[in-house]
Amino acid sequence: MEVRRDPRQFLFFIILIILINSPESHNPGFNPRSRYDEVIEREWEQLDILNRTRWGDFDTKENKWLNITGLRKQDAFTWDVLGNVKSRARERMRGVLGERTQGWLDGKHEDERKETVYRNISGFVQGEWVLSPLSRTRPALDLLNATGHIHEFAQLGDFDRNLTGTHGMVRLHLTEVDGRQRTDENRTMSELKAKVVIGDAESWGDNWWEFNLNGVHFPEFGGAVLTTTSERFSGIFALPHLQLSPHLYLSSQELLNRTIHQTIQNQLDRPFPVWNPWSSTVEDAAEGIMATTHCELILFLQEAPVQLLDRHGQPANQPDLEWLEQEIRFPTGANVPLHSQMSMDMVGFSPDCGFVIESKGPPDFPPSEAMHLVGLKTEEFNDDAKRSILAFAVTLAFQLMFIIRQAKEAATPSTRNRISFYTIAIMALGDGFMFLALVFLHLFLGTSQLQLFTIAFLALFSVVLELRFLMDIWTVQATEQMRQDRQQASATPPSPQPPSTPSPSPQPPSTPSPTPAPPRAPPPSQNDAPPLATATATQPQPTPTPPPPPPPVIITPDQDDPADNEPLLPTTNPPAAATPTEISPRAELGALYSRYCFLLIVTFFITLQFTTMRSTARAFYFNTLSFLYLSFWLPQIYRNIMRNCRKALRWDFVLGQSAVRLVPIAYFYAVESNVLFSRTDLQGLAVLVGWVWCQIVVLAAQEVLGSRFFVREGWAPPAYDYHPVLREDEEGATMPIGSSSPSPISASGESESALHPGESRAKGKKLFDCSICATDLEVPVIPAGGGGPDVQGLGALTLQRRAYMVTPCRHIFHSACLEGWMRYRLQCPNCREVLPPL
């Protein structure tokens, strides 16, 4: 027998052979190794130029250029502004240090006294910048033409970091590079790195950028010069020519010759290529031809002297700054005196985009408006972060306490039925989001990893408790919903079937037809015996079968309504109407957990994406997210209205959860130096606090005035009202029934035994008996034909109605007595009739 082969496998091998033997493209491929060698060679050449040049070799006014990328004439940078920028930086430096400025610039000190500034400025400073009159802003099309990135869509192009507005925010994260290899012999200079976060308040959407700078720091007087380095601008090789004096040029040239040489050597020794060790991109990505064009930036910084402060915040004696800085960096437990924050004056210049910015502060602006760039050292910031983490741990502990107390309070199906599932679900989502944020927060802070993981465990424990509580609530509410669906299905009459051809049915067995009775004979006498036929005809007939007794009422172990704990199994007598197949509660709970995890992860990743967007979009997203998160009482208000119930939650739970969940949001909205450096928004915080307060007020009003006090009739489904207005109307049958109680003794000593149940004790009131506490219950009753209450007495009558409760079976009790009873059993204490949930 012939075997037929599948030809598709031969087709696959033919295509594979063609691809292998296909000729290569005539265009040579990109060789990354040769490109990397070219980059290294160019770095060696620029380092050699740095070694051979002297102060004044780069002067654009004298038409002196250097063969360094960005310092050539064909690069079309705005270097003619550099001289004015240096003069402005020296002027700002003189405003901070005074007459000693020129001595530091020339390297000639009249005395050995040093400036009271930090020798290590690792930390952060933030403030506002304003545009300087020295700026020469260039349009994006001009910049694209100068860089060779012109194309047909150049009008739509824009430069990153191009500050075209007049003001904005700026934050510097400074890192002092310790080690002997990164400082000179006398430790008068060291390398400095900075991450800059700068925004333009007048750009579309309040745009902002983040990038890195490298430079040198002069610890003796607190000056620093930093610059970006990219494919278009070799700023680190031009850094000595950017100094403010010949003395600073020689000092920085000597340090950079050694550090740059060591960095290039490390590039050669690494197994993987490092294209730009001084890259300005935060992700350390290579800035090649296809990279996004951006503006370069040069920063001139000057640190302000540190001052001691007394208890009132006023300057005190000058501190021993070396001891103070040593204690801050390496604490020994000594009492650190109050001191001023780290403050810096800034002048920034973009050589390609042409803008010049300055920090906002005195003397151009009053101190009440701005104080330049102010911040904390890294050690002080870490201490503040640890204290904030500890405070957050305390709020989580209180949050756990409140949720545990509420879960213990809602220990029966009747109490769990009142609680909104979505209220607890929103809280669980918020705690899950906190857990994920705390797990990854140490990557941003760089410290306090152990503390963050400990707090993350507390947040996870809170999530587990809330999910367990959600499972209990869902089990009760799903059971009740299924029971109601079955009742509605059984109460709905079956739809008429369309006419069809009748099928033959089996005939019943034939029965003898009744014969006509014979004519009635006269009654026999007493002596006559009855005939046989008559005796046979008068045999006893079979009695009908009595109906089966009703099923016994079985009280469940938690003494609740057995209907609320009805097993989810198919009954032996299903209703006539066909019902859909019921889903297992375990499957539904599994689906709920899957949706919870999916929604949590999606929300977390969307939040991560919005952290890198423009400030306007980011603020809108976080404000909306906070508003939705703090709306966790809305589902409970809605459930109270739909079920006409009250007192679903403990008041310590409502107030406590509202407070502890507002504390972290208030920290990020009100504290300027928070761990995430988020911008403060006191107006937004006031709106969020007011929104939570409004929800609490509505919950309190529902408990006092009724859950539907602000809902018009017809907006909510009908529900039984346990606090009706009692009227003496026989047709309405609204008066409750009760048993008599022992007659009380009046104040005059006369017995009131003549009073019967329901008899008036005073005008407009009647006396009843509460069978739970066995005490009298006096309630207001509107007399028959007396009309409704007037407007003045309507509010008092509304409050008096909350003192009693009337069941559908017309039994009356104290509100506190029946509510306590219904926490464990949804049955009338008198007649055992099933009661609607409260």
Q: Which residues contact 492 (CB under 8 A, 6 or more apart)?
A: 577
Residue 515 scores a pLDDT above 50: no
Whole-number pLDDT of residue 311: 67
Encode pLDDT of 300-352 as tens digits: 999 999 888 766 666 666 667 888 888 888 888 888 888 888 999 999 999 98
For residue 358, the cross-strand partners are 130, 347
> Among 116-125, 137-146, 207-216, which is the least confidently predicted range?
137-146
Report how far apart, in Å, the C-alpha atoms of 209 and of each of 170, 195, 294, 559 are: 10, 10, 10, 64
Report how far apart, in Å, the C-alpha atoms of 118 and of each of 125, 208, 379, 409 are: 14, 29, 13, 57
Encode pLDDT of 457-478 as tens digits: 989 999 999 998 998 888 888 8
CB 37 within 8 A of CB 31: no
Whole-number pLDDT of residue 22: 57
Encode pLDDT of 660-710 as tens digits: 999 999 999 999 888 888 889 999 999 999 999 999 999 998 888 877 777
Q: What percent of the chain has pLDDT over 70?
A: 72
> Among 6-15, 65-74, 494-503, 579-588, which is the least confidently predicted range?
494-503
Encode pLDDT of 713-732 as tens digits: 767 777 777 778 777 765 44
Encode pLDDT of 746-788 as tens digits: 444 444 444 444 455 556 678 888 888 888 888 888 776 655 5
Within 13 Å, how many C-alpha atoms sit on residue 758's CB side? 14
SS3 state of residue 484: helix
Residue 574 scores a pLDDT above 50: no
Whole-number pLDDT of residue 585: 60
Higher pLDDT, 555 or 41: 41
Higher pLDDT, 450 or 14: 450
**Whose CA is closest to 396, among 457, 450, 441, 444?**
457
Whole-number pLDDT of residue 514: 45
Whole-number pLDDT of residue 477: 83
Q: Does the predicted model carry a pTM greater than 0.85?
A: no
Residue type, 106: D
Q: Which residues contact 517 (CB under 8 A, 6 or more apart)?
A: none
Encode pLDDT of 240-256 as tens digits: 999 999 999 998 998 99
Tokens of 650: 């403990």
Q: How confident is the model at residue 26 (pLDDT cuts 50, 70, 90)?
A: very low
Q: What percent of the chain has pLDDT over 90?
A: 31
Instruction: Name, of 548-552, 695-699, 733-737, the range with top average pLDDT.
Output: 695-699
Higher pLDDT, 479 or 731: 479
Q: How confident is the model at residue 156 (pLDDT cuts 50, 70, 90)?
A: very low
Whole-number pLDDT of residue 200: 92
Report how far apart, in Å, the C-alpha atoms of 728 and of each of 662, 725, 767 are: 51, 10, 13
Domain boundaries, the chain: 32-371, 381-485+584-705, 726-746+753-822
CB 153 within 8 A of CB 113: no
Residue 215 scores a pLDDT above 50: yes
Encode pLDDT of 405-456 as tens digits: 999 988 877 788 889 999 999 999 999 999 999 888 877 776 677 888 888 8
Whole-number pLDDT of residue 307: 84
For residues 179, 113, 346, 339, the Cα torsion angle rounded to the nearest 10 degrees is: 90
Sign of CA dihedral 343, 344, 345, 350: negative
Instruction: Name, of 190-204, 494-508, 545-559, 822-836, the range with top average pLDDT.
Output: 190-204
| Cα–Cα distance, 479 to 153 (Å, whole number) | 63
Encode pLDDT of 348-368 as tens digits: 999 988 899 999 999 889 988
Q: Parallel, antiparallel, or unpaired: how do β-strands 775-782 and 726-727 relate?
A: parallel
| Mean pLDDT for the stretch of residues 398-405 | 93
Q: How confident is the model at residue 797 (pLDDT cuts 50, 70, 90)?
A: low
Mean of per-residue pLDDT scores for the chain: 78
Whole-number pLDDT of residue 808: 82
Report how far apart, in Å, the C-alpha atoms of 682 and of each of 97, 201, 729 are: 36, 18, 58
Whole-number pLDDT of residue 319: 63
Whole-number pLDDT of residue 396: 93
